[in-house]
Amino acid sequence: MSQRRKFLKQGAAAMMSLPLLSFDPKKDWSIAPLQTNAPKDEAYWKMVRKQFPLKEGQTYFNNGTMGPTPGYVLDKMFDHMMHWNVEAATVDYKNGSGPVLLTGYFPYEELRTKLGKIINCDFKEISLTQNATFGMNYVGMGLNLKKGDELLNTNQEHGGGFGAWQLLAKRKGCVYKQATMPEPANDPQEIVDAIFKEVTPKTKVIAVPHIISGFGTVMPVKEICAEAKKRGIFTVLDGAQCVGQVPVDVKDIGCDAYYSSLHKWLLAPSGSGLLYINKDVVGDIWTTIASYNWDNQDDHGFRLMQNGTGNAGLMAGYDAAVDFFNTIGHDVWLNRVKELGKYLRDGLKEMNHVTFYSSTNEAMAAGITTYGVEGMSGPELQKYMWEKERLQPRSVGSEMLRHSVHIYNSKEEIDRALQLIEGLA
């Protein structure tokens, strides 16, 4: 472990001594201006918006699919990839450059420690993965399940949230079940009751979303995990939409496993995911992809992220995205997402021709709002908003539009959307 730390420190020192190669040398993507004690007012958020190379005159409202990457993060990725390609012949793997050339053989303790502070766990409980689907599969394939064991999802899973459980049902003879969620969901107890209505003595896994991808409903996961623990049921939470949108405290939630895609709300590069497994149960999870340290019993998070050579430039961007988040500040960031989400919902609630599919209970809502407009299909509404004002939310069904808001959005942009929708009355 001390040798790996030496590799990391030497690699980081080498990177810091290099001149920065920018993807857009005409702009300064430094995050120094964001490190201010000034009020986090609209002027501050306009400064944040300038950190993104988004086209002027267009508004992105589809963060629930993919978050745009800040210029600061792109700079770090571009600089990393350019340098280690230009200097390929002068780089000696054995002099400590391993972590900046390869990814799947090194523990990345510093990055995992930063992530541990965001979701409240020890870094050894975190694995760096490509995305939420990888996390789900690492857990599912690693569990000791047998024929007849029941696996419980909901009927509102994202496609990447049920695949592993359905595969296990087919491969091992497990029984796959879905709990039917209320729609819209405004009462947390209704959700808890709907899930445990499907639980039997054979239920071994409850795997549910922390936030439902299609509707943006924030689930009562703490209550679900507490009841599951009483019954000896393993809990896995799909947090693909969560880290960077709502507070995530895995110890307070009490889940056994939690996975997320940080290319959404934390605005990390595509391919930046994390998997948390509680240290009290991780010893029972088999390694899915085996490499040098596949049986490491000291650092189980590292054991489960053994995946061979990957894109080290991406890892540099991942680390930079976490720094970007921490510079703005955990609470400041999340409160802004919530503020903008509520601003949109408050405006929509004034319109009788709007139907909510998302929760209207603000305790169960954040940056995603899914709704429909009388007389228009979801695809028609998406096309209408783009053609009229270059606004880009996402159609998620024949009748629904999923509208995501984030820190790079403004209330003026939301007002333009509301004016268009009001005009359809």
Q: What is the pLDDT of residue 158?
A: 84
Running DSSP on this structure, what letter comes out for residue 283?
G
Q: Residue 19's pLDDT band (boundaries 50, 70, 90)?
A: low
Q: Is the per-residue pLDDT at 363 higher than 60? A: yes
Question: What average pLDDT is seen over the chain?
Answer: 91
Q: Write the pLDDT tens digit of every residue in 309-320.
A: 888 899 999 999
Q: Is the per-residue pLDDT at 275 higher than 60? A: yes
Describe the chain by its helix, strand, coil percentages, rounded to 5: 45, 15, 40
Q: Which residue's structure tokens are 């502070």?
A: 117
Which residue, among 323, 217, 262, 243, has the nearest Cα to 66 in the 3D structure?
Answer: 262
Residues 318-332 have a mean pLDDT of 97
CATH topology match: 101-323 vs 331-422: no
> Given 3.40.50.720, 1.10.230.10, 3.10.20.440, 3.90.1150.10, which CATH number is that of 331-422?
3.90.1150.10
Running DSSP on this structure, what letter comes out for residue 43?
H
> Given 2.60.40.10, 3.40.640.10, 3.20.20.70, 3.30.390.30, which CATH number is that of 101-323?
3.40.640.10
Q: Is the per-residue pLDDT at 11 higher than 50? A: no
Tell me the DSSP string of 284-349: GSPPSS--TTTT-SS-HHHHHT--BS--HHHHHHHHHHHHHHHHH-HHHHHHHHHHHHHHHHHHHT
Q: Residue 227's pLDDT band (boundaries 50, 70, 90)?
A: very high
Q: Is the per-residue pLDDT at 178 higher than 80? A: yes
Domain assignments of the chain as residue spans, ordered by start: 101-323, 331-422
Q: CA 205, CA 356: separation in Å to the nearest integer? A: 31
> b/e for 308-331, b at 16 or more Cβ within 10 A?
eebbbbbbbbbbbbbebbebbeee
Q: What is the pLDDT of residue 194?
A: 97
Q: Residue 28's pLDDT band (boundaries 50, 70, 90)?
A: confident
Q: Residue 176's pLDDT band (boundaries 50, 70, 90)?
A: very high
